[in-house]
Amino acid sequence: MIPSTKPPKHLKMRPPVAVAAERTEDLGPPKIEIRALNFYYGDVRSLHNITMSLADKSISAFIGPSGCGKSTLLRVLNRMYGLYPRQRAEGEVLIGGRDILGPNVDVAELRYRVGMVFQKPTPFPMSVFDNVAFGLRLGGGIRGAELKSRVESALRDAAIWDEVKDKLHADGRSLSGGQQQRLCIARAIAVKPEVLLLDEPTAALDPISTLRVEETLQALREKYCIVVVTHNLQQAARVSNVTGFMFMGELVEIGPSSRIFTSPQDRRTDDYITGRFG
Amino acid sequence: MAIIDPRHAAKQLIYERVFRSATLSAAILVLLILGGVAMSLLRGAWPAISHFGFSFVAREIWNPVTDEFGALAPIYGTVVTSVIAMLLAVPTGFGIALFLTELCPPLLKRPIGVAVELLAAVPSIIFGIWGLFVLAPVLQRHVQPWLIAHLGHIVLVGKLFKGPPFGIGILTAGVVLAIMVLPFIAATLRDVFDTVPAMLKESGYALGATTWEVMWNVVVPHSRVGIVGGIMLGLGRALGETMAVTFVIGNAHRISSSLLAPGTTISSAIANEFTEAVGDLYTSSLIALGLLLFLITFTVIAAAQAMLRRLERRSGAAV
Ligand SMILES: Nc1ncnc2c1ncn2[C@@H]1O[C@H](COP(=O)(O)OP(=O)(O)O)[C@@H](O)[C@H]1O
Ligand SMILES: [Mg+2]
């Protein structure tokens, strides 16, 4: 199944930079705890017995070949799967110590606490300002001057303020792709979520925009528990503290990114990061 | 493979030309037909136009005996019945479409969708008969007395619900029209809402929005252009519908302040009277009515186009 020939040289990962190693040290207590999680699309099981903890104020990256269940994992964490009949999760998932899979969970409130950014930019058909204000206005709680300042600080945190401060009333869809994605990040962090999920946030972006988004993530690391799915191994190595490798619905291994990319414990991880499959 | 047979290339060129001229002439044919219809309407209506001038659209009188004709009553009836129809059908169609796309259990989705499409397939004469024998008596006995009793005393609005409950009349015609255009509006809006990307909706849910908030704040704004299109499709049908309206409107060339009173519309007046029209001026006046309907429909479509262009420009999305 796995070709035994050595991969071409350019596919080999360069050893990760030393900075990545430092980052793994002072990881705080876990923000997300997952125990024996199984996920089903109808009768098909797509996640197998996943158990792990993810730290707060850090970036956890998940890598793995297409269809291995990375998106599914994210969609459990904000119960997005609940929108669709016949999808269900079993097991235990705690965010900030609170169970999120139970029947009595207020899903809207959970999603307010857990932000999400998608594979493609999804600006709403409204102005830049209204996009960012969307979540803040939902509860009806925040308006007026406070709304304005919250929108501004979210746009600043997402490193897009300087580019849009003169066109807050332009349609969000008129921005460039990279700007749209950072707008979506601003929209997600405007409500000050506890956790930020990103599903291949740079998949649809050019290299420069990708870099800007990565810088944005770096800056957000201090405030949030960030979980990012990526196809791009260099990206995982560049931005994350912890990397998990998933394969066919299983979490093969998870650990400090510097270790995963230099001395993975599992043969499959090694094959994947050296480009032998996937 | 790289060598192209010159004969083959020449043949392709000919095919290309034939195809292009065939499609071009089809497109031109549409313009010719449209022009022809407009011309012959104008020619047929000319005697009435030259005889009555502008007063034709400003007068309510319609007297075949004295050969005096004015189009105000049918214009009024056409506009008012269509407005009533849209007021009833647009919110209902909205509700049906949103329910079908966002809330409906998958098991019910198909049956309800098919039912909506079947409703659209019912011939208008059936609606006419049903309106006359079933709906009109029900409205007369149960709904109109209630309207008169409860709304009849309110200032301004009250005028609309005065007088005896005739059963047939402007209001009944509006209700029948609403039922007739409802499936078109609901089906178009459903198709429009179905094209909203799941990811966009999920982005709303991901912020903690409820189903209602996602529908109202994301799905509807995203579908603005399609919504205008769907409503205009319904309005176009309501303005031109003839058969069912003729059955239930009462066919009186009269403008009454009450919606319960009988009236007429342009198309039902033409259908009713064309075979009996004696005298050139009478016939010509009916054709002039047709020309007016043509203009009204044209204006509605042009207004819709202008509105769509404005919406598109405002969204500024070049995607
Ligand atoms: N809506 C769905 N219905 C059924 N199966 C699905 C659905 N979405 C994903 N899957 C399946 O679940 C598995 C994991 O998918 P996904 O989480 O999207 O993978 P990844 O994001 O890692 O590419 C795949 O085998 C995929 O075919
Ligand atoms: Mg995916």
Residue matched to tokens 């016949």: A86
| pLDDT tens, position by position, A123-180 | 999 999 999 999 999 877 788 889 999 999 999 988 899 999 999 999 999 999 999 9
pLDDT at B155: 84
pLDDT at A23: 42
Record the tokens describing residue B273, joined without a space: 């009277």
Any ligand 1 atom below 6 A from CB of A230: no
- For B159-211, give the DSSP string: GGG-S---SSSHHHHHHHHHHHHHHHHHHHHHHHHHTS-HHHHHHHHTTT--H
- Residue A45 has a pLDDT of 96
Q: ipTM, 2 decimals?
A: 0.86
B21: enclosing H helix or E strand: helix B6-52
pLDDT at A211 over 70: yes
Question: Taking a C-beta distance cutoff of 8 angstroms, is the pair A63, A238 a contact?
Answer: no
% of chain A with per-residue pLDDT over 90: 73
pLDDT of B44 > 90? The answer is yes
Q: Percentages helix, strand, coil for chain B, rounded to the nearest 5?
A: 75, 0, 20
pLDDT of A17 higher than 60: no
Q: What local confidence, expressed as pLDDT, does residue B314 receive?
A: 64
Assign residue B114 a region: left if phi > 0, alpha if psi is -120 to 50, beta otherwise?
A: alpha
Interface residue of B102, B203, B217, B227 to substitute, partner A, most A CBs within 10 Å: B203
Question: Average pLDDT, stretch B130-153?
Answer: 92
What does residue B263 show for φ and ψ, rounded to 5 degrees?
-155, -160
User: If you ran DSSP here, which 8-state letter would residue B251 be given?
Assistant: -
Check the CA dihedral A61-A67-A73-A78 and report its sign: positive
* Residue of A44, A249, A178, A79 whose CA lies nearest to B202: A79
Angle between helices B280-315 and B6-52 (to 10 degrees): 130
Beta-carbon contacts of B113 under 8 Å, excluding residues fewer than 6 positions away, are B100, B187, B190
Q: Render pLDDT for B71-125 as a digit per residue (tens, 0 to 9).
A: 999 999 999 999 999 999 999 999 999 899 888 888 898 999 999 999 999 999 9
In ligand 1, the atom with minimum distance to the C-alpha of A69 is 17
- The conformation of residue A115, written as its DSSP 8-state character, comes to E
Which of chain A's residues have a Cβ under 8 Å away from the Cβ of B205? 80, 83, 111
Q: What angle do CA A199, A66, A5 make, to 5 degrees?
A: 135
Judged against a pLDDT cut of 50, whether residue A5 lies above it is answered with: no
- Among A81, A95, A58, A47, smallest CA distance to A228 is for A58
Mean pLDDT, residues A108-118 taken together: 94
Q: Check whether B308 has a pLDDT greater than 90.
A: no
> Taking all residues of chain B, what is their mean pLDDT, rounded to a whole number?
90
**Positive or negative torsion for Cα B268, B273, B275, B280:** negative
First to last CA, chain B: 38
- Report phi then psi at B293, rounded to 5: -60, -40
Ligand 1 close to Cβ of residue A46 (< 6 A): yes
pLDDT at res. A16: 39
Tell me the nearest-neighbour CA distance from B214 into chain A, angstroms.
Answer: 10
Q: Where are the alpha helices (DSSP H) in chain A?
A: 18-23, 70-77, 107-113, 128-138, 144-157, 161-164, 177-190, 207-220, 233-239, 257-262, 267-273
Spatial contact of B312 and B224, defined as CB atoms under 8 Å apart: no
Cα of B304 to nearest chain A Cα, Å: 20
Output the pLDDT for position B102.
Answer: 85
CA gap A17, A246 in Å, rounded:
23
Q: B43 CB contacts (<8 Å, ≥6 apart)?
A: none
Categorize the per-residue pLDDT at B197 as very low, low, confident or very high, splitting at 50, 70 and 90: very high
Cα distances (Å, whole numbers) of residue B133 to A216, A271, B118, B168, B265:
69, 78, 21, 10, 20
Instruction: Write the burial class of residue B277 (CB in 10 Å: 0-12 exposed, 13-18 middle, 19+ buried).
Output: middle
CA B63 to chain centre: 29
Q: What is the pLDDT of residues B231-286, one digit of tens each?
A: 988 999 999 899 999 999 999 999 998 999 999 999 999 999 998 888 899 999 99
Q: What is the mean pLDDT of residues B126-141?
A: 95
Is B200 close to A126, i.e. CB distance below 8 A? no
Q: How many other C-beta atoms are found inside a 10 Å radius of the C-beta of residue A211?
A: 15
pLDDT reported for residue A1: 40
Mean pLDDT of B124-129: 94
Q: B146-179: per-residue pLDDT in tens?
A: 999 888 888 888 889 888 888 899 999 999 999 9
B206 vs A125: CB contact, 8 Å cut-off?
no
**3-state DSSP assignment of residue A92:** strand
Q: What one-letter code names the amino acid at B52?
A: F
Write the pLDDT tens digit of every residue in A219-276.
899 989 999 999 889 999 999 999 999 999 999 999 999 999 999 999 999 999 988 7
